[in-house]
Chains A and B, each alone.
Chain A
Amino acid sequence: MLYEVNAEDLSSNSLFLPESTAESFGIENKQTVTLSFGKRKKPVTIHTLHSNHDSKILVSKNVRSELLIDTDVKYEMVYSNNELMLGPIIGLLLAKSDVRLQKYMQHYLIYTMLYEQINGILFVFCEQQIDFTNEKITGYVFDPSTPENWRKAELPFPKAVFRRVELSQKTLTELSEKIGAGFFNAQYFDKWQFWNWLSPYEELRKHLAETTNKVTLTNLNLFIDKYNGVYLKPKNGSRGKGIYYIEKHKNQYVILENYQDNIRQLSSEQMITFLSKHSYYLLQQPIHLHTFEERKVDYRVILQKDGTGHWQCTGIIARFGNTNAISSNFKANGFAMEGTLALMTQFGYDELTAFKKYQEIISICRKMACTVDEIAGGYADLGIDIGIDKDGKVWVIEMNKRPDHDFPLFIKDRKMYYSVKSNPVLFAKYIAMGN
């Protein structure tokens, strides 16, 4: 049921509710309830109204202005524990500045595809539009009745915020405090934290490449002795940039850099100097991914929470990399393929074996996502890179907190693409309406 809200000259702090609605909620005439709108709330007196418009509710003007109720969209209502919730109110933190926000406005429409299932306020905003003093945000509300589909409006802090852009530490902290658990994909973490958080769990550790942040010659030798070679990676790098692979031949270290043709040979002394220039890097166990026709293959697992409130796999996309790169970044001369099909192609699996491997991959990723949820706060949109080695073992390489949403387009899967964009919004609604 959808409701229209009108603000009228009524005695202050009152709310007129259609009789049928009041009855279904079990609210009595003249009862005082807490009306909540996003993070704002205030007590109001209910007046039941016998009318033909059973989808219309009226509030006094002071209620509208104090709660910042937007009267141009239709809302859903939920009642429990004496709280009447009008919503949902969902904020999408998508751009760095108002200028950029306005520039990409039409692109953001993709997040509104399922608005008919969402209702209420779905808005986009940027850091500079947050007014912490007055606890309000000036954002752009999705409103299909306006020519541009977006309308500038003053809004209360929402119950659910999806972050997908850089933020200053100050804003991050303050907003986390204000929004709480409904602020999702809020915290970013690097490869070292990832290892540090998950490696204590035996079940998870066996799917992770051993990692250390102490980049010393001793550790380098330790890794090389153990694994015949080692990766030197930046903590925050992505897309295979700045990754070195180091081996040792007799007393010489051999260094290969991803996407570079030159091979460097260093002595121990030179290696110490080289490592000292990369002290903020990580040493990592190399995983020998199963190759296909000499191409490295890895899989992007799109793990998202949806309207059920739980982690689901939206899809898996395999990348068949450039024949001589040390990581499987397919943008440089590679190609992509749907996950199940790729498992069948790469390993010669039949449908059932591919299904089982697919489920195994999802199960591992879900466990890791749940752990990260517990340690670092709520996430609902992750891009997890996994690899499968020669023995068919699954390795989790990386977890992206602001994942590239365009992966499904590389395999021309529009349905998956729209799902990727819609799921965080469906999840936000689940959060905003109190589950």
Chain B
Amino acid sequence: MKFFIQTIPTTSSTISIPFTELDKLSLRGKQAITIRIGVIQKKAVLSHHNDHDRCIYISSDLVKDMSLPEFIEYEIKIQDDILFIGPILGMLVRGKIAEMNLPRIKIYKNYLIDYQHVNGLIVLFTSDGINYKKKLINGYAYNPINKEWVEGIFPFPSAVFLRKSIKESSRKKLQKLIGNNFFNSHVFNKWEMWEWFSKSEQLKQNLPETVLAENMEEVKKLMDVYQKTFIKPRAGMQGTGIFQLSMVGKEYTLSYRVKDKNIKTILDNWEAVQLYLQSELNLQNYIVQQKIPLLRNNNRVMDNRVIVVKDQNGAWSVSGMVTKFGDIDSIVSNISSGGSAEKGWQALVEMYQGDSKQAFKKYMEIEKLALTCCKVLESKGLHLGYIGIDIGIDENHHLWVIEINNRNPDMTIALDANDFQLYYKTKSAPFHYAKWLACFGGEKRDAL
């Protein structure tokens, strides 16, 4: 059941709910009640009315300094004797409040395509729009009727989806307000990921061996064992700035990509390699990784982007998979580097030449590996709502975790594979999860 809220200009600290709701919420006979809207909690006199069974009246002193838009339908529930009105959910984005305008924030509406199953108040805001003291936000609320953002002052939400990284000091302030109910705030790099995952019993066999580039002795050892390695920026994304180093006899080849062209530099010996790398790259920002002989399809490298989201029940769930194919002879399989994409299932069936049983088993093995990655990240204290994990398959069909895209992973990759349903599913996931965090999730019904 969903309700409209009307603010009545009185100072009686009263909330009036439809008479029919009293029994459903087991509130009959109660005179006073604590109400909670977002993080704001107030004591109120409880009253009831017979005007309209989908309207709640709140006296204006209870919602002082803020607005609860009347165009929104709210859900209500009782938990620990507190009447919750909500959900009140937030999205923290980059920029300053003064710079925000409707055309600029239009893109964020993509997260609300399934608003019909979220309901309540969704507030878009920037860091400078937060008033920590009053627990209020100057930002934009979503109006589901005309599908537009409306500026105003709103209660601070109970759960926040972060679309930007934040400083440690802001993290502490957020924590004080809403505990652990904010997600996607952590950004980690490839080296941190390797350090965490390599300690996991279940993951270490799926990780390419990795060392820090500044440690040239280790790099040399890696070269001696594998002959081929990748030099990757710790914080890089989308396959940019990746070098491949290969050893043939005493000679080394460094290959990389500049403007859609594959470039090769031949270096005579290890000293030359060392000199070259030390002068050309800031090695502190790089890792070196064993090159996995990934499966190729017509000479195009392929790997799988597995999209994992926290679902409406707060559980990790794989929403889909896209297989990426690199440009011919390119060292990476990124679409931005001239590659293409296909639905993950199709690609696996082709890989197994139509043996759908084998394809299914591999598909589920990939899912399991991706879910294990999520669980390990979570055990490191990272609160994530969705991530994209790149998992490669080698010539022996063994799986390898190549990369994790955790900073606002780009989900348009689903569109590259022409999978609109996957794109919509992924886009709508963060607010379903936020709703669950705000304790308005899961399946519930109201008795007559």
A residues touching B (Cβ–Cβ < 8 Å)? 1, 113-114, 116-117, 200-205, 308-312, 340, 351-352, 354-356, 358-360, 363, 366-367, 369-371, 414-415, 418-419, 422
Tell me, in angstroms, the Cα distance from A114 to B362 when the chains sit together.
10
B363 on interface, CB distance cutoff 8 Å: yes
Cross-chain contact A367 with B443 (CB below 8 angstroms) = yes
B327 on interface, CB distance cutoff 8 Å: no
Cross-chain contact A310 with B315 (CB below 8 angstroms) = yes
Task: Give min CB distance, A420 to chain B, whole Å.
Answer: 11
Size of interface on B: residues with Cβ below 8 Å to A:
32
Tell me, in angstroms, the Cα distance from A135 to B2 when the chains sit together.
50
Tell me, in angstroms, the Cα distance from A424 to B356 when the chains sit together.
20
Known contacts being A200-B448, A366-B443, is A351 close to B424, with CB within 8 Å?
yes
Cross-chain contact A310 with B313 (CB below 8 angstroms) = yes
Tell me, in angstroms, the Cα distance from A201 to B315 when the chains sit together.
27
Cross-chain contact A113 with B445 (CB below 8 angstroms) = no
Task: Give min CB distance, A368 to chain B, whole Å.
Answer: 9
Task: Give min CB distance, B434 to chain A, whole Å.
Answer: 16
Tell me, in angstroms, the Cα distance from A366 to B114 when the chains sit together.
16
From 395 to 447 in chain B, residues with beta carbon under 8 angstroms from any chain A beta carbon are 420-421, 424-425, 428, 443-447
B368 on interface, CB distance cutoff 8 Å: yes
A-chain residues with CB within 8 Å of residue B443 when the two chains form the complex: 311, 366-367, 369-370
Cross-chain contact A340 with B448 (CB below 8 angstroms) = no
Tell me, in angstroms, the Cα distance from A184 to B201 when the chains sit together.
33
Pick from B313, B315, B420, B446: contact of A355, CB below 8 A.
Answer: B420
B360 on interface, CB distance cutoff 8 Å: yes
Cross-chain contact A351 with B421 (CB below 8 angstroms) = yes
Pick from B313, B421, B447: contact of A200, CB below 8 A.
Answer: B447
B311 on interface, CB distance cutoff 8 Å: yes
B-chain residues with CB within 8 Å of residue A415 when the two chains form the complex: 345, 356, 359-360, 363
Which B-chain residue is minimally distant from A415 (CB atoms)? B345
From 129 to 154 in chain B, residues with beta carbon under 8 angstroms from any chain A beta carbon are none
A-chain residues with CB within 8 Å of residue B356 when the two chains form the complex: 414-415, 418
**Could you show 26 A-B contacts with beta carbons less than 8 Å apart?**
A1-B201, A117-B364, A200-B447, A200-B448, A201-B446, A202-B447, A308-B311, A308-B316, A310-B311, A310-B315, A311-B443, A351-B424, A352-B424, A354-B421, A356-B116, A366-B443, A367-B443, A369-B443, A414-B356, A414-B357, A414-B360, A415-B345, A415-B359, A415-B363, A418-B357, A422-B364
B113 on interface, CB distance cutoff 8 Å: yes
Known contacts being A340-B421, A355-B424, is A202 close to B315, with CB within 8 Å?
no
B-chain residues with CB within 8 Å of residue A1 when the two chains form the complex: 201
B-chain residues with CB within 8 Å of residue A201 when the two chains form the complex: 445-448
Q: A203-B1, A351-B421 are in contact. List 17 more A-B contacts (CB 8 A).
A: A114-B361, A116-B365, A117-B368, A201-B446, A202-B446, A308-B315, A310-B315, A312-B317, A351-B424, A352-B113, A352-B420, A354-B421, A363-B117, A367-B443, A415-B359, A415-B363, A418-B357
B residues touching A (Cβ–Cβ < 8 Å)? 1, 113-114, 116-117, 201, 311, 313, 315-317, 345, 356-357, 359-361, 363-365, 368, 420-421, 424-425, 428, 443-448
Tell me, in angstroms, the Cα distance from A417 to B365 when the chains sit together.
17
Cross-chain contact B360 with A418 (CB below 8 angstroms) = yes
Cross-chain contact A204 with B114 (CB below 8 angstroms) = no
B-chain residues with CB within 8 Å of residue A308 when the two chains form the complex: 311, 313, 315-317
Task: Give min CB distance, B188 to chain A, whole Å.
Answer: 25
B-chain residues with CB within 8 Å of residue A367 when the two chains form the complex: 443-445
Which A-chain residue is minimally distant from B442 (CB atoms)? A370
A-chain residues with CB within 8 Å of residue B114 when the two chains form the complex: 355-356, 359
Tell me, in angstroms, the Cα distance from A183 to B258 when the chains sit together.
60
A-chain residues with CB within 8 Å of residue B313 when the two chains form the complex: 308, 310
A-chain residues with CB within 8 Å of residue B368 when the two chains form the complex: 117
A-chain residues with CB within 8 Å of residue B1 when the two chains form the complex: 202-203
B-chain residues with CB within 8 Å of residue A363 when the two chains form the complex: 117
B-chain residues with CB within 8 Å of residue A203 when the two chains form the complex: 1, 445-446
Pick from A117, A205, A311, A355: contact of B113, CB below 8 A.
Answer: A355
The 5 A-B pairs of least Cβ separation, nearest first, read: A414-B356, A351-B420, A370-B443, A308-B315, A355-B424
Cross-chain contact A202 with B448 (CB below 8 angstroms) = yes
Task: Give min CB distance, A126 to chain B, whole Å.
Answer: 26
Which B-chain residue is minimally distant from A340 (CB atoms)? B421
Tell me, in angstroms, the Cα distance from A414 to B358 when the chains sit together.
11
B-chain residues with CB within 8 Å of residue A312 when the two chains form the complex: 317
Tell me, in angstroms, the Cα distance from A355 to B424 when the chains sit together.
7
A-chain residues with CB within 8 Å of residue B447 when the two chains form the complex: 200-202
Task: Give min CB distance, A308 to chain B, whole Å.
Answer: 4
Tell me, in angstroms, the Cα distance from A46 to B208 when the chains sit together.
37
Task: Give min CB distance, B247 to chain A, whole Å.
Answer: 35
Cross-chain contact A360 with B317 (CB below 8 angstroms) = no
Tell me, in angstroms, the Cα distance from A363 to B117 when the chains sit together.
8
Tell me, in angstroms, the Cα distance from A236 to B353 when the chains sit together.
44
Tell me, in angstroms, the Cα distance from A358 to B114 when the chains sit together.
11
Task: Give min CB distance, A196 to chain B, whole Å.
Answer: 13
Tell me, in angstroms, the Cα distance from A203 to B119 when the chains sit together.
15
Tell me, in angstroms, the Cα distance from A422 to B368 when the chains sit together.
14
Task: Give min CB distance, B205 to chain A, whole Å.
Answer: 12
Which B-chain residue is minimally distant from A20 (CB atoms)? B201
Tell me, in angstroms, the Cα distance from A359 to B447 when the chains sit together.
23
Task: Give min CB distance, B345 to chain A, whole Å.
Answer: 5
B-chain residues with CB within 8 Å of residue A352 when the two chains form the complex: 113, 420, 424
Which B-chain residue is minimally distant from A312 (CB atoms)? B317
B-chain residues with CB within 8 Å of residue A204 when the two chains form the complex: 445
A-chain residues with CB within 8 Å of residue B420 when the two chains form the complex: 351-352, 355
